[in-house]
Structure formats: structure tokens, C-alpha cells
Structure 1
Amino acid sequence: MFTKCQQPLGLVFAAIFVACVPVRAASAADVNFEQTAANVFLRRCLECHQSADPNGELDLTRKDRALAGGASGKVIVPGDAESSELIARVVVGEMPPEKNGKPQHLPAAEIQMLRDWINAGAPWPEGRVLDAYERTTDVRAGRDWWSLQPVKRPEVPTGFGAQPVDAFVRQKLQQHGLSPAPPADKRALLRRLYMDLIGLPPTAEEMDAFAANDSPEAYERQVDRLLSLPQFGERWARHWLDVARFAETNGYERDAEKPFAWKYRDWVTNACNSDMPFDRFVLEQLAGDELPDRTESTVIATGFIRLGTWDDEPNDASEYQYERLEDMVHASTTAILGLTVKCARCHDHKFDPITQADYYRVAAAFWPGPVASRDRKFLGGPTKEELGFDVLGWTDLTKQPKPLHALKKGDVHRPLQEVSAGPLSGIPELDREFLPPPADAKTTQRRLQLAQWMSDSRNPLTPRVIVNRLWEHHFGAGLVRTPDNFGFNGQPPTHPELLDWLAGELVDGGWRLKRLHKLMVMSETYRQSSLNPRQPEFELKDSGNHFWWHAERRRLDAESLRDAILATSGQLDLKVGGPSFHAPISEEALEGLSMKSGAYQASPPEETRRRSLYLYSKRGLIVPFMTTFDMCDNAVPTGRRDVTTVAPQALALLNNSWVHEQSLQFAKRVCAQGLDTNARIDAAWRFALLRSPTDNEREVARGHLEAQRKNLPDKNSELLSWVSLCHVLLNTNEFIYVD
């Protein structure tokens, strides 16, 4: 930058232009450094020109360094803006440099700020050091960014009802001229509650009983019962497995199995069911092997670290070691902190107050040391002997690994300074260096200290992120609608006070999540209808429903849809835990495997009727039906799945061989209800849609059966006509969507 051997012709014209601009007299007394130079440097320049590795050797963070200039000499001539190369460069638009192919011209007002400052003698307060992250600007977040501030539990608004969730939501609705929808129909509400809490529909009998129960406590009793069922843990484990990038194979060409990965899945399920405090949930996954009360279960929890993709034959083992390290940093900080820390591997974060040193401080907690022949296996994880248990887990091979160095532009062959393990510096109140391990320790204890920092009750990110994840899955979107990014490029919370109240409630309640689940689903906001009488008017004010003036109508996710089909056909096996099953996959889908012979074998049919949570997760071969309905990418943390409505989904439900098999089983279940056609039709509606058919629906169903009997071969035409009707019901919007 600013090299004299590359003076562009534009500078000549810039010099003429600058010389022609009238100079306004200014003195140090009437030029404020913070409002002029500091303002521009912080917003426009320090991304490249700060102390760590300044471009062109020009450091604009300190007075002496700024006035000394860079590799091409001085760029600031105090008292003479016209002779200052800094002004010449910004006038022609060469600085700041292009970004994404677009010029970044400084506004004329900012150029004038720099002129005034230089002409006044470039005053710079003694000892003032600029820091790109000292405060939030319009181009990046500073350490004063909202998500990094301490959680301050606000007072619940008064005059909006006693339930805290409703009080905060209704206050915001009032402020925006909106009002909530009326309560949902009891049948719609119970199905919503079941699908949210356990991921399965109620039976028709359960639905009828609830609809007929007028007790004020009826709904709360349903909530308490569902929270106590083992299926609750299965449902909510799946949400965490998304952010943990859970899979049971390594990926890459061989896509070899990760032995005992299913034990981690079962650990998460049990943690949800037992209402394990979330701070302990974090501790066990990052450092279960380092805890004083270490058990096989806590070591299973460290499988979280090993769940990422793993290349057992990398081109460069030393370079790949840093790829694995990046996965560990990315998974842990995204899932728990909701920040894109991995973006700082090669340079300071462009948008958030995360330095490159921060990235390597966190990475050092997972650092096994430089690659040697013994370490090549360790990159994929320690052995049974090194762990002490036959599990997929993690532990350190030494308590004193060799130092970790930051890398210039992330290049393993360009090491920079040594970095000590520690947390992110963006929360100054919790900044610390990690202590060396005790004399009798077998590990570094760095992961334990990182986990303790993340789960510290004063850490503002961890409780905000997890309560936002709960809100997202209950209400259809988070209070922060970018659940994995609480930084500058994420969306701000729609209800910041409610988010902090919930975060404070979590911590004050011992980090127990079931209390928060109940609080949310007991709210009138959750229990309102998906239709608001003033829908057209309110759509104009808040088309995205950011203020929750109606409940969100949601399509069943891939697992819930598959499980609901099994429940309707009467085939669902509710066995909990244990090794996964392999679903049948068509030969066409298997064509892509590099080793077709024996590469994938379906489990016996009776095992494939289990819940979708137990479906074997092979990275190179996700079951096509699940992919069609937006099963998440299991290579990276996924806090919010894509939700699409596309033609292949309708085609899959109409033509998929597994769906047809379930329609057959559904029809057999219906036909077992007796010979009366009306009774069978009623049973079909109740099994699938949890209600009786209307008179019109019954008439249409009879007509469909008659038409199918005529069109189908005489043999089995009676059963096949019912299969056709049952297949239609499984394809209805009423079955696929939850109101």
C-alpha cells in the first residue's frame, strides 16, 4: 500500500484537485479528534491498518505509528492536507480498496473530516489507542454490541396480563398497532403441543378426551404429561443434534463409520429427558473427560467434539490438522455462543469483535500438538485404551502439548506468534488466561476451562442463545431469527427485553430447560390461532409476523412427517435408544456409492419401524425421502433448517414406495374396524386427521372408493381401493401441516 514505485496517474489529477480545493482554516482547539480522524479510522481504515498485521506496514491505531507512515513513507503531513498522500488516495477512491469488486468511496463529509484534522496539525490525544472493536459503527460490531452485554433481567410490563411471555409480546403488539389472534381451537392446539413437545400426533381418543374436558387445568396437565414422556427427549435431542452436526460416518470417499456414535445421540436424549442443567450439558460435551466426577456417560458426551467430518487420508496431514481444529472451534462456538468465530482463522473478524488471536485462543483448548506419526490417528480421535471406555469420545494425549501458533492468512506454513489458550476477548469482564493443569492432571484442563467460561452465569451469550433456540422450535422462528449468528450480520432480537428476561429466568432457575418449555407453551401467545381476523390489515404492518400477532402454520419436518405416517399406519415402534437402523434405499440412490458391494445393507423390516431419530445417519447417503423434506446438512452446525415447498415433496408423497407400503398398512388397519363402509371411513379420518369426516367428505370418500373398485383389477380391488383412499389422506395439507 502507498508504494512510491506504483503511483497511479489518478494521483496526479488528485493532487491538482486537492490544490484547487479551498482550505478552511482550522486549529487543534476547534477540531475534535474523536469526531474527525478517529471516527473515520474506526469505521473505514482499521480493518486493514491495525497493529496485528497492518497492510502496507501502515498502523493507524497510534499517533506515532500513524505519523511515521508505512512501507512507502509518510502519508500524513500535519498542517498540510494538500501534501498528505492519505488525502490524495481517498479523493480518487483508491482507499479504502475495492470490496467484492465494488469501489468504497469515502463520502465527501468524511474526506472533509480528515482534511480538517490534518490541517489543524493532526491532533491526537496523548495515550489514545484506537481499537477497531472499541465501539459499534455502521460497518461492524464493537465490544458494546448488544449480545455481548450482560444479561439484565428487565421488569415484566404491567397491564398486559400476568404471564411474562404474554406481557412482553402484547406490549410490543400495542406499540405497533397490532393485536393477538383469538385462542386456537382445542383440537388444533393439542396437535400443535404434541408435535412440538414429543414430535408425534395424539391419538383420536386423546384428542376427543381433551376436546371434551372443560377443566381449567386440562391443558397444563397435558403439558406436564408430555414433558415427562421419554418421547420428549427424542424430539428435543434432534434439535440439538442439528447444531452438533451429528452423523455416524466420517464423510469423504470412504465415509467410514464412527463406532458408537449412537451412544452420543442417546446421551443427548437422556440429558433432555432428565432435564440436565444446561451449564452441565455444556461442561460434559466439551470436557466430560476432565471433570472430577468423570464417568463413562460424561466421556460419551465428548463425542460432540468428534462428530465432524474426518478424512482418513488427507493430502497434507499437517494442514488437515488445522481443518479439524477449525471444525471443533466452529461447532462449539456456533452451537453454544451463536457466533461465527471460525471467520477469524485467517484474519481479525470483519464484522464482529473477534480477533484472530481469539480464534487461536479457543483453538488451543482443543490442540493436540503438531502432527507426528502417532498423532495421525488422534486427529480422528483417541482409542478405546486412551479413553478408558468403548465409546466415541475425546481426551488429550498429553497435558503439555507443544505451543499453538496463529497462522498468517490461515497458512500452516506461515506461523505467527504463539497463542495461549483462553476465551474470546469480546467480553472483557470474563477475559482471562487459562491456568496450567494441576500436577496430577492427565490432560491440559483447557477444554474444561473453556466450558466453564461458556457456562459461566455471567456469560451473556450462552443463555441468550439457548433460550432463543427453544423459542424458535416452539414458535416457528427465534426472537433472533438468525439463531447461529448473534453478531453484526445476524438479525437483532425483535423482543430484546423478553430475550433477556428468558435468559435471566433460565440462569436463576438453575439452567433447567423444562421450566422454560412449560413457560413458553403455557403462554397465550403460543396458544393463539394461526388465523387473525385482521390478517389482511396486519400483513401490511408486519408480514413476517415478527411481533407474534398469530401462531405460525408449520409443515412437519422430515422426521415428524415420517413418524406421523408410521403412527397413522399403526406401524410405529416406540422402542427407546440403542444402535441405529438402516432404512431401505433404492438401487438408484445407491449408484453414487464408490463401493456398492456391501456398502449399505438395510435392517430387517421390523427394525425400520422405529422413530426417525434412530435412522442411521450416513453422510454420503442421506435417505432421499428425508432429504426431500429438508433434512439438515450434517457436515456443519444447523440452527435453522431450510423449509421449502417444492414439487418433489408432492411427488415423493405420491410415488415413494415406502409411503405406499405405509398406505397399505394404514388400509389394513382401517379395514380391521369392520365391514361397514361408513365406519371404516370414520376410522380412516380419525387415524389420520384425528377427527370425524364431514358429511361432504364422507360422500366424496364413498365416491372415491367406488371409482377405484371399478378401475382396479377384480383381485384385491376392495383392499386396494382403501389403500388409495388412505394414500390420499396421507397427502393432504391437513396431515402435513400443523396450525
Structure 2
Amino acid sequence: MRWRKLLLVFAIAPFASGPTAANEANFETEVAPLLIKRCVECHQGRDPSGNLLLTTAEGFHQGGDSGPVIDLENLGASYFLHRVADGEMPPESRGQSQKLPDEEIEVLRRWIVGGAKWPEGRVLDLFERTSDVRGGRDLWSLQPVERPAVPQLESLQQPTNPIDAFILARLEQEQMQPAPTASKRELLRRLYFDLIGLPPTLAQIEAFEQDDSPQAFDQVVDQLLDMPQYGERWGRYWLDLVRYADTSGYERDQEKPFAWKYRDWVVAALNADMPYDRFVIEQLAGDELPQRTEASVIATGFLRLGTWNDEPNDPLDYQYDRLEDLVHTTSSTFLAMTVKCARCHDHKFDAITHEDYYRMASAFWAGPIATRARSLLGGPKPNELGATEVLGWTDLGPTPPPLHVLKNGEREVPLDEVVPASLSMIPALEKTFDAAPEGSKTSHRRLQLANWIATAENPLTARVLVNRIWQHHFGQGIVRSPNNFGFLADPPTHPRLLDWLADEFVQGGWKIKRLHKLILTSKTWQQSSTHPTAAEYAQKDSTNRLWWKSERRRLDAEALRDAMLAVSGELDLRVGGPGFRPSIAAAALEGLSKKSAAWNPSPADAQTRRSLYMFSKRGLLPPMMTTFNFSDATQSCGQRDVTTVPTQALVLMNNPFVHDRSSKLAKSIIENAKHPQDQVAQLWSIVYGRKPTAAETQLAQQHLETQLNRFEKLATTSSQETPAPSAETRAMASLAHVLLNSNEFIYID
């Protein structure tokens, strides 16, 4: 031991010089941040690495398995400094050394040789402050929402809409100008797809273009927000978030009975402009409300939408996997925080402790997730929920069994019993959950969790929702990682605007339609997608983080399919009810073990409903939809991918659904117009919502003539028993198909 001590003295020789008052390290400003950033992650809690606790003075001076970490007789030769100086601490990560920078080692040296002074009673907390490696409880998204003053512009004209003031203030700083306002035709088409997911007709466009009243735009916004199709459009975005599907996944992929009722509840709630705080509470605890209704119980289907394995390899382990799904979906959807990452340990990047994960999980621990309730509709009988034929959730009793924090997430290594409570990342709102009221049939933990999420004081809830609304109107959110407001989030482009919108949303009664109108009436949303100095501005801001123009966007899978049905005159606008099963090509069924029984499409007349009502089978999603980035419903999806790939062009050219719409449109046009020029004009007005130019008319007529000659020749040599469509119809269908494949139809300017 004496030899080892001499060796350490030799190794730390450069540190042996004594300190002076001038260069002694300050614990709070230099040492504490460094220990929290580099050491506390491993050396904290009930089981610190090497039994060395570095959160308190007592733990530090006591040392660990290797003995004392400082030498009181020769502070400069302390073991702690030796391990840090030679790069042994922090330990290697993924085979790479994490040796501290020289300036950080120097801070520790000055602190140690200065006496390693530790303020009395000071306890270090891994998440007490944000560093460049992880977020703390002081992270921007966890701070209270404070309404900022609306910026006053200096060189640009002060706008009437506060949104524009925040956007223009940043552009003014960068000496940039916004794009001009889009044309009225572009605005109306954009507005229709934004709010109801369907294209306007030529008559609607012309009426808007001819209305010069100041209220014209506002009136159209109000009309669209009042249409039942609004809830269908915006309900689809919510279904992505809650991993909605009609089946359970895994090998059986069996149907979830009555899952469609939850889908219809979402649509109805949005159409009724249900306040968002109530919207949250009903989904998490609609069965625990004092005045619960059948609708509020249906809302708890949110908790039942995840994948479900009715024959897991280990049922006891599987109940913890189900808990993880519930924790992840709840925290991602409502809070944009990845709480599931703390199942096995403290979160690597965010102020979410290991215990926090189990705190949230305890709210669902009383429900139908354990082996004692393995059936899909497990738990109490439906009539006990106050409803019949419902895929809903309720607790199995008021007093659930204890839930323990699990070491490394392993069921067989339980640690302390968790005390049901809110997350600890917002200390001012931290709350331990009360026991169930006397006589209650449920634990009331979910209701307390829901109230904690939906309180106006929770800084995440309103910020996350207004960011999602902004995202779907602009293509990107103010925070461009909509399901992650943590340390790894893309920082907000306009944090003051985000807070202003969040406060305005809450002060406005949590009403989503009011928020829509505020955004849509801004000049920022109404900008053109083209800018006179786009090339120059793209050098400064290639991803348009300053919102200096509108973004041209491709229709998503549902809007594209629905728009084709709309222009062909086939769209069935019935609202609600069980979903339809679309026709799927035989090639897509080849991988299934029971091809004939696996998929039975609905009758053709039932397949013309909106895509929202398409039966969503996790193991068999329609290829046309997935090609255009339909969500796979495995987990919460805050933002779909938007790809441009060759298979999309192939689908539009070859898919039977697209050809059928072209044929239907062609038949309708031929029945209503006899002259080719009139037919072309009608086709353009239906598909594009405008009249064709002279050049387009000429090219279209040439196309019709060429295709007519071709199909007439084919008809004379055909020996088909079933009469084929006329050559005229096939030629017109060919032209219609060209338009349905065009960028003008597929993209929104």
C-alpha cells in the first residue's frame, strides 16, 4: 500500500502545488455543475457505482469500494484526482475514452487542493440544472408559460395579428421581408385542405375570388370549421398520436371490438370544439368523472389502442410492456416527453427520474393489463362502465397491488414501492396522489394524473398542443420535434411566440377552433410559397425557420385518396360507424398464412367513404396508403415522414383505385359535355378548380385524339366477351389520369 501511495503521488505531481485564495475553485459556480455533468449520473441514489456517492459531502469523504477518494494528508495526491487525470473516470463509453478536458481537470484540482470544501447540507441533484450533456429542471419547456409583450416593429408596418408581429420582428432583425400574400385561389385551396382535407370546387373558388368584402376570408374559415369534415380531417392527426388501429397486431392481429367508437368520439369532440383540458381528462379518466357518460367512457379507448399480444411468452413480463406503452403514449401525446426512457434508469437527457416512470405507471396499474385480465375486453363487464359495446378502460378495483421500482427494469429485481404521484420534473406542480374516495370502484389515480396534465399551470400541455396545431398548418412546428420537448428537442424557432400562443390558448378557454382562426387569419399563414428573393434568403435560412414564405406541401395519403374521390364525384360523406375494408391487390396478401380468410374487402359502394373510415389492420396496411407515408400505428406518431420516392409515381400510374377514379370522372364528363373543347374545360375545372389555358386546351385535345385512335384500333382487334368501355371513354380516362398524376393536383401551394 505504501508503494501504491508513492506511485499516486508521483502520478499527480503536477497537482502538488498549494492553492491560493485567488485561484480556489468556487463550489456552486464551478465544482457543482462539473460534478453534476460528469459524475453524479453514476454516483447517486440507492446503488451508486462503486458504492461511491457523490451527491453529498458525507458520501464524498466516505469514499467507495476502493477506499477514500481524497488524501487528507496530501490533498494533491488524492485518488479522485488520479482517476480523473489518467482518463479512467469517467469510464469509457462504447469503447471511447471520455477523459475530461484539461480545464475541467484543473477545476477539480483547484477544488481538491483547496480543501475540497462542500457547503453544509448541500445535496447535488442530477437534474438541478441544464448542461451541455443533459437537461435539468430549468429547461425552457419546463418553465412557467409567461405571456410576452407583442413586439413593436421599427421598419415594417405594425400588423393587427400578434402572430405576425412576432414573425416580422425576427425578419426585421435579419433585414428580410416576408413573401407576398398568396392568390385568392391558392389561399382557398390551401384553406380547404388545411381544415377539411378536401379540395374546393370551381364554383367555390370563383365565389371567393369575386367577394371583395373584408369579411370574406373569415366567413369561409367559420364555414369550414362548422363542417363535420373538419373533425374528420383533424381527428386523423390525433389518431396518429394515439397509435390508433382497428386490430391488435402480433401474429393473430385480431380485431379490437368497437375501436371505431373511439375514432368517432375524437371526431365528435373536435367538431363540438370540446375544450382541450376536458379532451385530455376524458381520454385518461372518462370513467372516473363524477358525471361520466357513455361518450366519456368511450374516450378511455385511448388506453386500449396499443398492440396487444393475447399469448405472450411470459405474461408476467408482458404486463410491464403494456405499462410501457401506456406511459409512453400518454407522456408523448400530452407532454411531448419521452418518459419511457426511464423504465430502467434515470433518463439520460431529461429531468425524468427512474422513479418518475413508475409514478406515472402506477396510474394504470389498477387497470386491465395484468394476467388476471388477459382478454381484450378484460376487466369489469361493459355494463359496469355505464355503457354497452365499448372498448373502454376502468380499474379492476379501488386499491391496486403495490408497484415497485424495478432495478434495470427487471421484474424479478424490485426495489422500493412507488408512491403514486405526478412527475417530479416540475417541482412547483409535484403532487402525491390521494387514495380513492370511500366507496369508489376505481383508484382515481388516472383522474388525478389527468388533472395534473390538464391544469393551466402545467407548462408543457398548452405549449405542446399549440405547437401541433401550428405544425399541421405550416408543415413544421415552432418546435420541430413535436413529440419531444426535452433536451434533444429542436429548440423553438420563436420561443416568445410559442409562449404567447400557449397563454392565448388557455386564456381563450382551451378552444382549438379559436386557435385555428387566429393562425389562419395571420399574414404569416397567408404568404405565398414563392418569394422574389428566395435564392438569397435560402442561403440565410434554407429550412425556413424564420417563416419568410409558405411551404409547398404534398397531399398526405388520406387527402390524396379523398381528393380523387371528390373530383370523380364518388365521395361518400357519411360520418361515423364501423370502418370499410378497401380492396388490396393479391400480391400484397402473399405473405399471409391464410390469404382467403385474412382480408375480405367491403362492397365497392362502401369503399368510397373518406380514408379516415378505412379499417386499419396493423399487419396489412393498404400499399397505396403506406407508399404515401401513412402512419404504421405501432407507437405515437407526432409527425409523419414526407418522402418523395419512385414508388409513389408508380402507384399513381398503375394502382387500380386511381384508374377507377379516372374512369368514373371520364364517364361523367362525356355524359355532360359532347365537344372535346368543352370536355377539356370541364375536366380542368373539376380537377384543378380553374379553366385551362389555350396551350393546355390544345395539348389536351391532341392527347384525346391520339388516344381515341389508339383505343379504336384496340377495340377492332379485341375478342373480349365482356364489353369494354368505349374508345371515347378510355381516351378521356387517359387524360383524366394524367391530371390526377400531376403536381398541381398532388401539391398545395
Give the TM-score taking structure 1 as reference length: 0.96
SS of the equivalent of 2:415 reads strand
In structure 2, the residue matched to 1:404 is 403
Instruction: Give distance in 1, aligned partners of 2:246 and 2:9.
Output: 64
**What SS class does the counterpart of residue 552 from structure 1 fall into?**
coil
Give the Cα–Cα distance (whole angstroms) in 1 for the partners of residues 365 and 663 of structure 2: 54
- Aligned partner of 2:80 in structure 1 is 86
**C-alpha distance in 2, partners of 1:380/1:428?**
36
How far, CA to CA, are the matches of 2:704 and 2:514 in structure 1? 49
Displacement of 1:67 in angstroms is 1.3
Structure 2 CA distance for partners of 1:12 and 1:556, relative to 1, 3 Å: farther
Q: Does 1:77 align with 2:75?
A: no
Q: Once the two structures are superposed, what CA deviation does each residue of 1:153-189 show, in whole Å capped at 9, x if it has no partner?
A: 1111234312111111111111122211000011011
Assess, with a 3 A threshold, how the Cα gap between structure 1 residues 121 and 601 changes in structure 2: closer, same or farther: same
Alignment match, 1:127: 121
Q: Which amino acid aligns with 2:738?
A: V
C-alpha distance in 1, partners of 2:608/2:227?
19
The equivalent residue for 1:733 is 743
Q: Distance in 1 between matches of 2:442 and 2:109?
A: 57
Q: CA deviation at 1:251?
A: 0.3
Residue matched to 1:225: 223
Which residue of the partner structure matches residue 307 of structure 1?
Answer: 305
- Which residue, 273, 289, 292 being the options, matches 2:290? 292
Distance 1:433 1:92 in 2: 45
Match of 1:186 among 184, 187, 193: 184
Aligned to 2:655: 656
Change (3 A) 1:81 1:684: farther
Following the alignment from structure 1 to structure 2, what is the Cα–Cα distance between the partners of residues 392 and 64? 54
Aligned pair in 2 of structure 1 residues 369, 205: CA closer, same or farther (>3 Å)? closer
Task: Please show how residues 452-471 of structure 1 align to structure 2 within 5 Å.
Answer: 452-471=451-470
The amino acid of 2:449's aligned partner reads L
**One-letter code aligned to 2:207:** A
Q: What displacement does 1:378 show?
A: 7.0
CA distance in 2, matches of 1:94, 1:100: 14
1:379 to partner: Cα distance: 8.8
State the one-letter code of the partner of 1:735: F
Is the 8 Å Cα contact of residues 31 and 117 (structure 1) preserved in structure 2? yes
Partner Cα separation in structure 2 for residue 363 and residue 311 of structure 1: 19
Q: Residue 582 of structure 2 aligns with which residue?
A: 583
Q: Quote the Cα distance in structure 1 between the aligned partners of 2:701 and 2:316.
A: 69
8 Å Cα contact 2:403-2:418 kept in structure 1: yes
Q: Return the alpha-carbon distance in structure 2 between the equivalents of residues 76 and 385 of structure 1.
A: 67
Match of 1:144 in 2: 138
Within 1, Cα distance between the matches of 2:231 and 2:11?
A: 70
Alignment of 1:537-576 (within 5 A): 537-576=536-575
1:121 CA drift (Å): 1.3
Equivalent in the alignment of 1:722: 732
Q: Which runs of 4+ in 1 moved over 6 A?
A: 11-15, 369-372
Aligned equivalents of 1:560, 1:321: Cα separation in 2: 37
SS in 2 for 1:526: coil
Residues 96, 202 of structure 1: CA spacing in aligned structure 2 closer, same or farther, 3 A cutoff? same
Deviates more, 1:13-22 or 1:447-456: 13-22
Is contact 1:369–1:402 with CA below 8 Å preserved after alignment?
no
1:356 to 333, 354, 357: 354
Post-superposition offset of 1:472: 0.2
Shift of residue 105 of structure 1? 1.7
CA drift of 1:408 comes to: 0.3
In structure 1, runs of 5+ residues without a counterpart are: none
The count of corresponding residues between Structure 1 and Structure 2 is 732
Q: CA deviation at 1:20?
A: 4.7
Deviation at 1:370, TM superposition (A): 11
Q: Any idea what the Cα deviations from partners look like across 1:121-154, whole Å, max 9, x if unmatched?
A: 1100100110011111111111111111111011
Per the TM alignment, residue 524 of structure 1 is displaced from its structure 2 partner at its CA by: 0.5
In 2, distance between residues paired with 1:13 and 1:576? 81
State the match for 1:47 in structure 2: 41
Paired position in structure 1 for 2:276? 278
The amino acid that maps onto 1:722 is: M
SS across alignment from 2:607: helix
* 8 Å contact from structure 2 (residues 256, 376) kept in 1: no
CA distance in 2, matches of 1:534, 1:510: 41
Q: Using the alignment, how far apart are the partners of 2:646 and 2:369 within structure 1?
A: 49
| Aligned mates of 1:164, 1:174 — CA distance in 2 | 15
Q: CA deviation at 1:16?
A: 4.3
Q: Aligned equivalents of 1:369 and 1:271: distance in 2? A: 25
CA distance in 1, matches of 2:598, 2:384: 29
> 1: CA distance between counterparts of 2:6 and 2:379?
60
| 2:263 paired residue number | 265
Q: Structure 1 residues 102, 386: closer, same or farther in 2, change over 3 A?
A: farther
Aligned pairs (5 A) from 1:160-179: 160-179=158-177
Q: Which amino acid aligns with 2:420?
A: A
For residues 449-508 of structure 1, give each alpha carbon's deviation from its aligned partner in whole angstroms, at most 9, with x where no partner exists: 000000011010000000000000001100000000000001111111111111111111
For the pair 1:156 / 2:150, whether they are aligned, the reply is yes
Which residue identity does 1:424 align to in structure 2?
Answer: L
Task: Indicate the residue corresponding to 1:613 in structure 2.
Answer: 612
Structure 2, unaligned runs of 5 or more:
716-725
Aligned residue identity for 1:400: T
State the alpha-carbon separation in 2 of the partners of residues 313 and 272 from structure 1.
36
Q: 1:18 pairs with 12, 17, 21, which one?
A: 12
- Residue in structure 2 matched with residue 243 of structure 1 by the alignment: 241
Judge which range, 74-83 or 310-319, deviates more: 74-83
| TM value normalised by structure 2 | 0.95
Q: In the alignment, is the contact (CA less than 8 A) between 1:559 and 1:613 conserved in 2?
A: yes
Deviation at 1:275, TM superposition (A): 0.1
- SS of the aligned residue for 1:597 comes to helix
Who is 1:475 aligned against?
Answer: 474
For 2:333 and 2:86, the matched residues in 1 are separated by 44
Aligned partner of 1:641 in structure 2 is: 640
Give secondary structure in 1 for the equivalent of 2:405. Answer: strand
Q: CA deviation at 1:661?
A: 0.9
Deviations 1:562-600 (A, max 9, x none): 000111111111111111000001111112223323121
Residue of structure 2 in register with 1:209 after alignment: 207
Comparing 391-400 with 705-714, greater Cα deviation is found at 705-714
Range with greater deviation from structure 2 (223-232 or 73-82): 73-82
**How far 1:375 sits from its partner (Å)?**
2.9
Q: 1:502 to 1:79 in 2, by over 3 A?
A: farther
Q: Per-residue displacement from partner, 1:316-339 (whole Å, max 9, x unpaired)?
A: 111000000010111111000010
Partner of 2:551: helix, strand, or coil? Answer: coil
CA displacement at 1:209 relative to structure 2? 1.1
Q: Helix, strand or coil for the counterpart of 1:377?
A: coil
How far off is 1:699 after superposition? 0.8
Shift of residue 710 of structure 1? 2.4
1:623 corresponds in structure 2 to 622
- Taking the aligned partners of 1:77 and 1:22, their CA distance within structure 2 comes to 12
The aligned counterpart of 2:722 is none
CA contact (8 A) 2:25 2:31 kept: no
Deviation of the 1:669 alpha carbon: 1.7
Cα shift readout 1:633-673 (whole Å, capped 9, x = no counterpart)? 20100111100001000010001111111111111122122
* Cα distance in 2 between the residues matched to 1:358 and 1:594: 43
Shift of 1:62: 0.1
**8 A contact 1:79–1:121 mirrored in 2:** no
Check conservation: 2:565, 2:571, Cα contact below 8 A: yes
Residue of structure 2 in register with 1:59 after alignment: 53
Corresponding position of 1:493:
492
Distance 1:371 1:497 in 2: 42
1:361-510 maps to which residues of 2 (within 5 A)?
361-368=359-366, 374-377=372-375, 383-389=381-387, 390-510=389-509
In the other structure, the counterpart of 1:325 is 323
Q: 1:309 is matched by which residue type in structure 2?
A: T
